[in-house]
């Protein structure tokens, strides 16, 4: 089998033009079938989310802890856990919200469990206006994003309370309609230009405790105060959504916001404070100590180029996921499926039964794909295909991945 895969790489017209790493593994026999630079470190991009996913399977296997709270007299004091599903646009996690809304007590939010930065280590500052780089907070609301859409030729803004922050720049007659936020404040401008009737854009807003309380209070339709108070270890927990739903919402579209916030949720499970770096250190020591190397892992989403993993390490994580879930229907249902769903929908032709289930990872000049390929004989193989530092169109690299993975499906 190894020589067959090797021939496919030798026959390739493009893989010698950039850095390529590949590993193919048999999870039943527990043996590596073929490796090409399998122990070389690559920038994984969103393949990093596979580690975040595996950690969630171990640390929050059932549901997402959303709020911690104590009741004192006529007051309910609560703390955030980083829960990304809390009032999230697609998931619409409402259990924690309904808990606060139904309480007859005075509500007080206690901030400062999270003392980290709004961005992950090594993130690009000039992506601040792009939807995929929302700020990291302990009590995120509505994806920490401002949504601007067109409604009967008028702009509609959500959250509505930020509508007054979105204004036209009359002097700007640019042909491209786009909303741009000021770097350090919630001032959003758009050009004096024609906009499409189906226009939709999401822009990260600048977070703050005051804005969080105002948004939450507006949604609850009741006042939420603030109180500085150390969270006791005995604080009770309100859970929000089933974990699998949140994992799927992270993996299919490759949602960076959910991935980063999940690290804070994991930190909540081991500490009274919230720290992405502490969560990563704990996961590496307790769940990934058997990796065949020493990866550099710095964020939950893969936005940072500081992450470095080998194809062999990615395969090891995928094998651990496979063993932990132990249910192909459940596992493959959470992952993008080739030709059918998520980030693999257009990477493979549409077939009656998808044969590839995995995770892509893209940054400029980097494109990776790792996951599970099901052969025509029904056998499941684990693979990691990493491509870094190319100057070709990404479409050509993506097509070469699909060619070789499809060969494995057909011939093995």
Q: Are strands 188-191 and 166-169 parallel, antiparallel or unpaired?
A: parallel
Residues near 259 by beta carbon (within 8 Å), at least 6 away in sequence: 48, 49, 52, 250, 299, 300, 301, 302
From first to last of its 412 residues, the chain has per-residue pLDDT tens of 888 999 999 999 999 999 999 999 999 999 999 999 999 999 999 999 999 999 999 999 999 999 999 999 999 999 999 999 998 888 877 899 999 999 999 999 999 899 899 999 999 999 999 999 999 999 999 999 999 998 877 899 999 999 999 999 998 988 889 999 999 999 999 999 888 888 999 999 999 999 999 999 999 999 999 999 999 989 999 999 999 999 999 999 999 999 999 999 999 999 999 999 999 999 999 999 999 999 999 999 999 999 999 999 999 999 999 999 999 999 999 999 999 999 999 999 999 899 999 999 999 999 999 999 999 999 999 999 999 999 999 999 999 999 999 999 998 9
Say what the pLDDT of residue 263 is.
Answer: 98
**Hey, how many other C-beta atoms are within 10 angstroms of the C-beta on 90?**
12
Q: 3-state class of 277 per DSSP?
A: helix
Say what the pLDDT of residue 203 is.
Answer: 97
Residues near 395 by beta carbon (within 8 Å), at least 6 away in sequence: none
**Hey, how many other C-beta atoms are within 10 angstroms of the C-beta on 72?**
11
Separation of alpha carbons 83 and 338, rounded Å: 29
Say what the pLDDT of residue 348 is.
Answer: 96
Contact criterion met (CB below 8 Å) for 67 and 96? yes
Q: What does the DSSP 8-state code read for residue 268?
A: H
Q: 3-state class of 297 per DSSP?
A: coil
**Surface-to-core class of residue 97, CB atoms within 10 Å of its CB (0-12 exposed, 13-18 middle, 19+ buried):** buried
**Hey, how many other C-beta atoms are within 10 angstroms of the C-beta on 76?**
19
Q: Are strands 19-26 and 31-36 parallel, antiparallel or unpaired?
A: antiparallel
**Surface-to-core class of residue 174, CB atoms within 10 Å of its CB (0-12 exposed, 13-18 middle, 19+ buried):** exposed
**DSSP secondary structure, 108-172, as one string:** EE---SB-S-SS-TT--GGGTTSGGGPPP-SS--GGGEEEEEEETTEEEEESGGGGGGEEEETT-
């Amino acid at each position: 089998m190894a020589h067959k895969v090797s021939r496919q790489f030798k026959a390739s017209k493009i893989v010698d033009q950039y850095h390529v790493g590949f590993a193919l593994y048999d999870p039943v026999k527990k043996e590596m079938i073929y490796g090409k630079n399998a122990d070389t470190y690559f920038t994984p991009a969103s393949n990093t989310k596979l580690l975040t996913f595996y950690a969630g399977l171990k640390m929050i296997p059932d549901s997402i802890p959303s709020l911690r709270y104590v009741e004192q007299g006529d007051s309910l004091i609560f703390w955030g856990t980083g829960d990304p599903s809390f009032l999230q646009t697609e998931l619409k996690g409402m259990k924690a919200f309904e808990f606060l809304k139904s309480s007859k007590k005075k509500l007080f939010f206690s901030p400062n469990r999270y003392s980290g930065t709004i961005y992950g280590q090594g993130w690009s500052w000039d992506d601040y206006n792009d939807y995929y780089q929302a700020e990291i907070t302990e009590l995120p609301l509505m994806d920490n994003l401002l949504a601007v859409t067109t409604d009967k030729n008028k702009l509609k803004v959500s959250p509505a309370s930020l509508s007054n922050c979105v204004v036209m720049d009359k002097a700007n007659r640019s042909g491209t309609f786009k909303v741009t936020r000021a770097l350090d404040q919630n001032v959003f401008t758009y050009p004096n230009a024609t906009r499409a009737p189906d226009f939709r854009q999401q822009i990260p807003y600048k977070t703050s405790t005051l804005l969080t309380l105002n948004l939450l209070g507006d949604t609850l339709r009741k006042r939420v105060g603030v109180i500085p108070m150390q969270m006791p270890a005995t604080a009770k927990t309100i859970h929000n959504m089933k974990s699998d739903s949140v994992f799927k919402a992270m993996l299919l579209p490759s949602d960076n916001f959910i991935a980063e916030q999940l690290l804070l949720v994991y930190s909540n499970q081991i500490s009274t404070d919230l720290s992405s770096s502490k969560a990563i250190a704990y996961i590496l020591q307790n769940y990934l100590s058997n990796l065949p190397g020493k990866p550099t892992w710095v964020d939950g989403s893969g936005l940072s180029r500081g992450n470095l993993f080998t194809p062999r390490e990615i395969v090891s994580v995928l094998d651990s996921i496979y063993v932990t879930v132990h249910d192909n229907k459940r596992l493959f249902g959470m992952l993008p499926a080739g030709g059918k769903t998520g980030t693999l929908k257009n990477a493979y032709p549409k077939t009656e039964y998808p044969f590839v289930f995995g995770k892509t990872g893209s940054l400029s000049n980097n494109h990776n794909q790792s996951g599970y390929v099901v052969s025509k004989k029904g056998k499941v193989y684990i693979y990691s295909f990493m491509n870094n530092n190319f100057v070709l169109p990404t479409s050509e690299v993506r097509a070469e991945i699909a060619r070789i993975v499809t060969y494995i499906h057909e011939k093995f």
